[in-house]
Structure 1
Amino acid sequence: MSVTGNDSVYNILYEEVEKEEYEKYLKSRIDFEKCKPCWQKIYDKNGFLKWEGLFNTDCPIGEFREYENGNLLIVSNWRGTTKEEREVLFINQCSIKHGIWTYFKNGIISKTETYLDNKLIETKNF
C-alpha cells in the first residue's frame, strides 16, 4: 500500500491520479503511528474498497481482505513478528502468513491455503 506524491505525478495504490484526488485520499487515511492496532480501509481511485484489515502501524495482523472493483478476492490471515523472530528467521517482514487464506472467484470460494508461520501446509482447490 503505497502513497507517493511530488510536484508533477500523484499515485494512489500505484495508479496515477490528479492532485485533488491525491490530497483527498491523504486526508482520509489514518495516521499509521497512531494505529496500534486499528482497522484500516483503503479505497481505489473509483471509490471501491481495495483493502481492509487489522493493522499495527503499517503492518497487517489478523484478518485482511483484498477486493477488486468492490468484489472480494482474498481473505488472508497474518501474524505479527517479533524483532527476535525476524533475526532468527532472517526475514525483514513485520508480519507473516498464518492461518487460512481463502480465494474467491465470482463470489465463490475457488481455493484455500493453510499457512503455519509463513509455510504453506495445505492447498485445497474447489
Structure 2
Amino acid sequence: MSKMKTKLFFTAAITIFALASFVLMIFNYNPFKADLSVFTIFYASLFMTLCGVITFLILFIKSRTLANPSSDIFWPSVRQGALFSLIITILLLLQGMRILDLWVGAPLAIAILLLELFFRHSKFKKA
C-alpha cells in the first residue's frame, strides 16, 4: 500500500504544480500579444492539469466500484486520464485555431478511443 501512496503523492504534486502553472498562465499573459512559446506552455500545463485531475477521478471511481481494488489500477488509470486529456487538449487547440468541426473532432476522438481499446486488450501486457 505504501507504493500506491507514493504514486498518489507524486501524481498529486505534479497536478498541483501544473495547476499553479496553468492559473499563472491565465492571469499573467495577454493572449492577443502572446507568442508561440506562451501558447505551448499554456496547452502543456492544461494537459498536465487535466491529466492529473482525470486520473484522480478515474482512480476514485475505480476504487469505489471495484470489489477488490489494488495497486494494479494505477497505471491504467494514468493512461486513461492521459488519453482523455489528450483528446480535450487537442480539441481545445483546434478550436483555438478555428479549425475544429465535427468532421475533424469526431475522428480524432474515435482514434484515441480505439488506441485505449488497443491498450486494454493488448496481448503485450505485463505478466
Higher strand fraction (1 or 2): 1
Query: 1 or 2 for the larger relative contact order (CA 8 Å, sep ≥6)?
Result: 2
**TM-score between both structures, scaled by the size of structure 1:** 0.29
**TM-score between both structures, scaled by the size of structure 2:** 0.28
